[in-house]
Amino acid sequence: EIVLTQSPGTLSLSPGERVTLSCRASIRLSGDHLAWYRQQPGQAPRLVISDASNRANGIPDRFSGSGSGTDFSLTISRLEPEDFAVYYCQQYGSAPYTFGQGTKLEIK
């Protein structure tokens, strides 16, 4: 089973700031099959990034994903109020298709 480790666990930031979240895989992912999801309180998750760097439909360009192999990141260039949520990475290259433990962005 591939273990995904996200860091940091929690970040306290202000609207307008830039942030980079990290996701590290225990072994190299095939095909860069890594996604990022955002989950706002009380809601289902929503796809943000697929295949490590492709923005999902309707996701604004302040979101960008990068990385390959074992190290991946999600960058939000200017935080908006709706971006304060929990972000999960997930690998879909090798079953079981595991999630990271999540990074929570909270308002400072």
Partner 1 sequence: EVHLLESGGGLVQPGGSLRLSCAASGFTFSNYAMTWVRQAPGKGLEWVSLIRNDGGDTFYADSVKGRFTNSRDNSKNTLFLQLNSLRVDDTAVYYCARGGWASSIDSWGQGTLVIVSS
Q: In what order do the strands lie in the sheet with 19-25?
A: 4-7, 19-25, 71-76, 63-68
The Cα 98–Cα 91 span in angstroms is 6
By CB under 8 A, the count of residues binding partner 1 is: 26
Q: Do the Cβ atoms of 21 and 13 come closer than 8 Å?
A: no
**14/57 with CB nearer partner 1:** 57
Least Cβ distance, residue 73 to partner 1 (angstroms): 16
Q: Which x/- pattern, by CB under 8 A, does the window 18-57 give for partner 1? A: -------------x-x-x-x-x----xxxx--xx----x-
**Token pair of 100, please?**
């990271």
- Write out the residues near partner 1 by the rule CB under 8 A: 1, 31, 33, 35, 37, 39, 44-47, 50-51, 56, 86, 88, 90, 92-93, 95-102
